[in-house]
Amino acid sequence: MKKHNCDKAEADITTQGHNPYEIVKKLIKESVYSLELHENIYYMLEKPMRMLEVSIPVRMDDGNLRNFTGYRSQHIDILGPTKGGIRFHPKVNVDEVKALSIWMSLKAAIIDLPFGGGKGGVIVDPEQLSERELETLSRTFVRKLTPIIGPQKDIPAPDVNTDPEIMGWMIDEFDQLRGYNIPGMLTGKPIIIGGSLGRLEATGRGVVFTIREAAKKLGLDLTQATAAIQGFGNVGSMTAKFLYELGVKVVSVTDARGGIHNEEGLDIPDLLEFVGDKENYASDYSKANSITNEEMFGLPVDILVPAAIENQITKETAPTIQAKILAEAANGPTTPEGDKILEEKNIFVIPDILCNAGGVTVSYFEWVQNTMNYYWKEEEINQKLEEKMLFGFDKVLEMREEKKCHMRDAAYMVGINHLVKAMHARGWIKDSDLNQNPE
């Protein structure tokens, strides 16, 4: 079958046993404290407002039934409908999905999008399914989610191992159930049925906007800079493309099977052509040397981009990192121990909830276009994306300067501040919740 692996590179990389939900809760708690807010704010934000677990029975090609498990977490809906992708991955679990939905809330808040955070996942290795089995799984999952999703409630999108084709099946299922077309119920769909120009490239494009801004800040000339990327799915490959276009020498990329390295810089357009529509693995590209994931982290590059899954920058990998900029294209790629080491080494971290927010930003544009039923040119979309990413970057930088903290803490504080204002405006919290030690 054709591989459905937008972010396939992630599939076999282990998450090292860290619990992302515990990590995000700790970070929220610290930010609430640094913002001098009452701990009531933490209690309001620590739990998703709704978490649905569903069974997804699929008749397999061999005639047997297999019953998969899926989740959808909706974190908070004060700013608008919840929004976020659906991933298919064998390591999906309740806590991961909860954490991912909280990260989506913070991303939307930093970029000032009228959305809350949501995320879904199915415990499955899509590599093991036939095309028909995958389609049945996708359609059945949407049927099970139907009561809680919709353009004004919760809007799914692609994530790890899901792509526009899968979104096409999902929206078709929803439309058939409702009896008419509802293009805004999901984003990242094929352009012909209401997808947005620029959505496929959006996350990588956004990542590179933030790298460009960080380089400016550090006085790093990108035409003389080198980069290495972990993961060559949608996000990793698009990041490589846009870095290459800016004149950055991308010397190494890795995927689930291994990695490639060329000190002189990889020919990214040629590599993208080789990988094609996921016909080949980047690690099988013959015009480069092979390299392991661990070796790639330690390369003497200026920019390192983890674009795979959680918990890759750890107490084992962080000490080897030589990069000046770490751009978190993946969600949650750094463990707290890894983070501490990055701080000690004074590496400029562009945190995930800012760095990879370009995807949900163009998803927002897609939803807006669907709502007004009028479609913008790609140029216009890319320009609006750039504006939004710079807006978010500047806000985080300002907070970093104000609080004399690291970029990750600053990003959390910007996001939390925004949510606090909305909760206050709705009367969910009182003035006394805005002070650490109320009278």
Give me the residues that bind ligand GLU (CB under 6 A), please: 83-85, 157, 159, 187-188, 331, 356, 359-360, 363
Q: Which helix (H) or strand (E) holds 305?
A: strand 303-306
* Tokens read off for 95: 């806590």
The helix (H) or strand (E) run that includes residue 87 is strand 86-89
**Three-class DSSP category at 254:** strand
Among this protein's residues, is 421 annotated catalytic?
no
Q: CA 92, CA 90: separation in Å to the nearest integer? A: 6
Alpha carbons 166 and 169: distance in angstroms, whole number: 5
Residue 104: name the closest of 338, 348, 356 by CA.
356
Report in angstroms how near the CB of residue 331 gets to ligand GLU at its nearest: 5
Q: Which is nearer to ligand GLU, 101 or 283 (CB)?
A: 101
For ligand GLU, the closer of residues 271 and 360 by Cβ is: 360
Q: How far is the CB of 366 from ligand GLU (least distance, A)?
A: 8
The minimum distance between CB 165 and ligand GLU, in angstroms, equals 16
The residue whose two tokens read 């909760």 is 423
Q: Which residues contact 179 (CB under 8 A, 6 or more apart)?
A: none
User: 283 or 363: whose CB is closer to ligand GLU?
Assistant: 363
Q: How far apart are CA 284 and CA 382, in angstroms?
A: 32
Nearest approach in angstroms of CB 183 to ligand GLU is 15
Q: Which residue, 303, 368, 347, is CA-closest to 329?
A: 303
**Beta pairing class for 116-123 and 65-74:** antiparallel
Interstrand relation of 249-255 and 258-261 (parallel, antiparallel or unpaired): antiparallel
- Contact between residue 209 and residue 202 where contact means Cβ atoms under 8 Å apart: no
The type of residue at 20 is P
Among 91, 119, 324, 388, the active-site one is 119
AA identity, residue 38: H
Residue nearest to ligand GLU (CB): 85
- 350 is written with which tokens? 């562009």
Cβ–Cβ under 8 Å, residues 376 and 197: yes
Closer Cβ to ligand GLU, 99 or 291, answer by number: 99
Q: Provide the minimum distance between the beta carbon of 212 and ligand GLU in the complex, in angstroms, as a whole number.
A: 20
Nearer to ligand GLU, 331 or 335 (CB): 331
CA dihedral 55, 15, 126, 365 (to 10 degrees): 90
List the one residue out of 109, 46, 173 whose CA is nearest residue 364.
Answer: 109
Residue with smaller CB distance to ligand GLU, 210 or 283: 210
Q: Would you please indicate which residues are annotated as catalytic (active-site) residues?
A: 119
